[in-house]
Amino acid sequence: MWGFVTVLNDILVPHLKSIFDLNYTRVMLIQFAFFSAYFVFSIPSAKIIDTIGYKKTIVAGLLTMAVGALVFIPAASLPSYPVFLTALIILAAGITALQVAEYADPQAVIDAAAEHRVEMFCPAVVEDGEAFTLSRPPHADALLEARTRTATWGSRG
C-alpha cells in the first residue's frame, strides 16, 4: 500500500522543478529529505513499537502519513518549496513507522517455523514492489502536467 506513496517523489520532482525553478541541488534535496527520514525515524519508530505495540504504531503511521498529505494543501496554495519538503518529511516519517511495524509483527515471527522466517518477509517486499510499479499509470504525468501548467500560468497571470 505505501509503495504507492514511495513513488510520489518520482512523479513530483519534475513538477516541483518547473513550479519553483529549482536547480539540481534543490531537486536532489527533495529525494534526500524523503529518504533521510527513513534513517532519522527508523529507531524512533522501533521505540514507539516497544511502547504502544505494532498495531497502534501502524495506525499512528497512517495518521502521520495523512497529516503529511494534508500539508501538501497549504504547500500548493502558497506555493512554498520549504512547506513541500516538510510535507514530504512528515509523509516519510509515517511510511517509516509503517514499514518498521510491518516487519515487527511478533505473532508472525512466533508462528513461522525457524526455517521459513526469512520467507515470511518476502510477500511484503513483493507487495511494495508491485505497488511501486502499478502506482504510476501512463496518464499520471499528463494529469500532473495539466495541473502544473494551470498553477504556473495562474501565478503569472
pLDDT, tens digit (0-9, with 9 covering 90-100), for 51-67: 998 889 999 999 999 99
What's the CA gap between 93 and 146, in Å, rounded? 29
3-137 falls under which CATH superfamily?
MFS general substrate transporter like domains (1.20.1250.20)
Which uninterrupted H or E stretch holds 66?
helix 54-77
What's the CA gap between 97 and 57, in Å, rounded? 7
Residue keyed to cell 541541488: 25
Residues of the chain with pLDDT > 70: what percent? 64
Convert the pLDDT of each residue in 6-43 to its tens digit.
Answer: 777 788 888 888 888 889 899 899 999 999 999 999 99
The ranges assigned to domains in the chain are: 3-137
How many CB atoms sit inside 10 A of residue 113's CB?
A: 8
